[in-house]
Amino acid sequence: MLVEVDSGHHRSGVAPAAAPDVAEAARAGGLRIAGVFTFPGHSYAPGAAAEVARQEREALNDAAERLEAAGFDVARRSGGSTPSALLTEPCGATEIRPGVYVFGDAQQVELGRCAPEDVALTVWSTVVSRHEDPEGPEGSRRVVLDAGTKTLGGDRPAWASGYGRLAEHPGARISALSEHHATVLWPEGEELPTLGTRLRVIPNHVCLVPNLVDEVLVDAGAEGLLTWRVAARGRNG
């Protein structure tokens, strides 16, 4: 097993100084200690990645040194999150476990960790309602899509500019979500899409999307569209 260390996210894990106590208890229960791990999830904030990577390195090394001093072999120091992954130094972690990087999402775009064209998973949706009042207040130019929290999830950190982005319309913002619908504020100067127009939504938090659907369509180039079953669907428990 690996001993989980809190490197500043304050979600789970123990302080590095407590790692030997956890390791001793685990060994007494018949487990073999292989190293330490952490999740630096507080890197999900503008400008935070470099400082969080430093905290991760210090926490992993501190815990590893204490375990070795207590007689444990530390073969692995595991860390990593998508915003900080490229800043992780080999003198800290021996492996990284970023998850969102597989697809990318609107949070990573907004944090500057990837570009919109790097995002590999989007949600097709259809314009089911449109509203345009040139004399109205802000938000009068908007469309409603048939994709809500049951498809996109509902995550929106305080610093995010919306609940998602549109791949082909970077100035648009999803201002509100309900179970089955997304309200999209449309930028001035761009023609409002007609009813029935299909748009690609970049979700804020991509991890939620495969967890909410049974199948995904894969653009396989010359092979056309393939259908992949989501193998872990319904296995949250």
pLDDT of 137 over the 80 cut: no
- Range 119-143 average pLDDT: 89
Q: How confident is the model at residue 235 (pLDDT cuts 50, 70, 90)?
A: confident
Number of neighbouring beta carbons within 10 Å of residue 186: 22
> What is d(CA 2, CA 225) in angstroms, rounded to the nearest whole number?
41
Q: Which of 12-16, 21-25, 189-193, 196-200 has the lowest mean pLDDT?
A: 189-193
Task: Say what the pLDDT of residue 12 is.
Answer: 93
Q: How confident is the model at residue 172 (pLDDT cuts 50, 70, 90)?
A: very high
Backbone angles phi, psi at 187, to 5 degrees: -70, 145
In order, the DSSP letters of 45-108 are: STT-HHHHHHHHHHHHHHHHHHHHHTT----EEEE--TTTGGG--TTT-SEE---GGGT--HHH
Q: Hey, where are the domains in the chain? A: 2-98, 106-205
Q: What percent of the chain has pLDDT over 70?
A: 100
CATH architecture of 106-205: Beta Barrel (2.40)
In this prediction the pTM is 0.88
In order, the DSSP letters of 42-53 are: GG-STT-HHHHH
Task: Say what the pLDDT of residue 138 is.
Answer: 73
pLDDT of 133 over the 90 cut: no
The topology under which CATH files domain 2-98 is: TIM Barrel (3.20.20)
Nearest to 78 by CA among 93, 56, 64, 98: 93
pLDDT of 141 over the 80 cut: yes
In order, the DSSP letters of 17-47 are: GGHHHHHHHHHHTT----EEE---GGG-STT
For the chain, give the mean pLDDT. 94
Q: Contact, 34 vs 75, CB < 8 A?
A: yes
pLDDT of 191 over the 90 cut: yes
pLDDT of 134 over the 80 cut: no
Task: Say what the pLDDT of residue 211 is.
Answer: 92
pLDDT of 55 over the 80 cut: yes
In order, the DSSP letters of 141-196 are: SEEEES--HHHH-----TT-SSSEEETTBTT-EEEEE-SS-EEEEPPTTSPPPPTT
